[in-house]
Amino acid sequence: MNWANRLTLLRIILVPVFMVFLLNKINCGEYIAAAVFILAALTDSLDGYIARKHNQITKLGKLMDPVADKLLITAALISLVQMGKLSAWIAMVIIAREFVVTGLRGVAASEGKVIAASIWGKLKTISQIVAIVAIMLNNFPFKNWNIPFDVIAIWVAVALTLFSMVDYLYKSRTIFIDSR
């Protein structure tokens, strides 16, 4: 268990902690939940950096890192739907993209090929994190400025989510053509 894998495990552990603060009537719970969510999201970048820098890329890390990412984002989306702060269809679009891309990567792996992460996937992740935090914090700090930042942020996240899925589908087209 290296440091990169410990950070991935920490991200998984932080998911229920985040949800407890977000979903229960706790004084300043949304702010604590947002801080926990941001901390968990930051561990995603940090664990990858540590694994690459110190040559600590492991099979466990390759398996658990994407699972941890999907748990964090999915837990946040479902929680926001439960709270009435997010439409279920938006959450479903984002979650469905994760199933599609994971499936594509699985098929590619079975063919001995790798579909590398793209800049669009990274931008998608960043936009989702920003949108989730903006929604959790009720559009803070833009609330008094009458700027619907949370609405803009979630639409950007949905657009980047769909675009990144199309990008993965396009990159994987040869896998399906070759396997006919």
Asked if residue 90 and residue 79 are part of one domain, the reply reads no
Q: How far apart are CA 71 and CA 95, in angstroms?
A: 10
Domain boundary among 84, 117, 134: 84
Average pLDDT value for residue range 5-23: 96
pLDDT of 171 reads: 85
Q: Are residues 74 and 103 in the same domain?
A: no
Cα gap 60→70, rounded to integer Å: 16
For residues 140 and 177, membership in a common domain is answered with: yes
> Is the pTM here over 0.85, yes or no?
yes
Residue 6 tokens read as 């410990």
DSSP 60-92: HHHHHHHHHHHHHHHHHHHHHHHTTSS-HHHHH
Q: What is the pLDDT of residues 93-137, one digit of tens each?
A: 999 999 999 888 888 888 888 888 889 999 999 999 999 999 999
Count of domains observed in the chain: 2
Does residue 93 sit in the same domain as residue 106?
yes
Q: Please indicate, yes or no, whether residues 112 and 24 belong to a single structural domain of this protein.
A: no
- At 117, give phi and psi (nearest 5°): -65, 145
CA separation for the pair 40, 14 (Å, rounded): 6
Q: Which of 84, 117, 148 is the last residue of a domain?
A: 84
- The number of angstroms, rounded, from the C-alpha of 52 to the middle of its chain's C-alpha atoms is 20
Q: What percent of the chain has pLDDT over 90?
A: 61
3 lies in which domain range? Answer: 1-84
Regarding whether 105 and 77 lie in a shared domain, the answer is no
Domain termination residue (choose one: 48, 68, 84) = 84
Averaged pLDDT of the chain: 90
| Same-domain check for residues 98 and 74 | no
Check whether residue 52 and residue 97 sit in a common domain.
no
Are 169 and 104 contained in the same domain?
Answer: yes
What CA–CA distance (Å, rounded) separates 35 from 105?
31
118 and 79 within one domain: no
Locate 98 and state its tokens: 């994760």
- pLDDT tops 90 at residue 92: yes
Q: Where are the alpha helices (DSSP H) in the chain?
A: 3-23, 29-53, 59-82, 88-110, 119-136, 149-171, 173-178
Same domain as 96, residue 80: no
Q: From CA 78, how far away is CA 87, in angstroms rounded?
A: 10
Residues 6+ apart with CB under 8 A from 169: 100, 104
Residues 94 and 118 grouped into a single domain? yes
Residue 180 has pLDDT above 60, yes or no: no
Contact, 38 vs 17, CB < 8 A?
Answer: no
